[in-house]
């Protein structure tokens, strides 16, 4: 649904209901799209963090015995990879 800003002021409740139902609501000013009404995600939904947590755990599990002993060794190793 495309509606101009003046009419949207009078029909705001209806537009919010339409957007919440999944309809695309675009507000125009002088015939040009300027805003969009979209539904807000429910505060009660929680994002699925299990995949993110597994990736983080895998990145944190580092064998420290394979790490260089000093920052100079790290720099030398990085330079060697670059050249």
- In tens, the pLDDT along 38-75 reads 988 766 666 677 777 777 777 777 666 666 677 777 77
Alpha carbon distance 77, 83 (integer Å): 10
Pairing outcome for strands 25-29 and 2-4: parallel
Please compute the mean of the pLDDT values over residues 13-30 and round it to a whole number. Answer: 93
Residue 9 has pLDDT above 90, yes or no: yes
pTM (predicted TM-score): 0.49
Instruction: Return the pLDDT at 65.
Output: 67
> Cβ of 1: how many Cβ atoms within 10 Å?
14
Domain boundaries of the chain, sorted by first residue: 2-37
Residue 31 has pLDDT above 80, yes or no: yes
Q: For 2-37, CATH number?
A: 3.40.1620.10
Alpha carbon distance 50, 61 (integer Å): 17
Instruction: Return the pLDDT at 50.
Output: 77
Alpha carbon distance 9, 37 (integer Å): 13
């Amino acid at each position: 649904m495309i509606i101009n800003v003046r009419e949207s002021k009078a029909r705001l409740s209806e537009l919010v209901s339409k957007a919440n139902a999944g309809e695309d609501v675009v507000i125009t000013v002088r015939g040009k799209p300027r805003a969009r009404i979209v539904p807000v995600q429910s505060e009660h939904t929680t994002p699925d963090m299990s995949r993110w947590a597994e990736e983080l755990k895998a990145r944190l599990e580092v064998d420290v015995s394979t790490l260089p002993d000093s920052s100079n060794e790290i720099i030398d190793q990085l330079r060697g990879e670059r050249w």
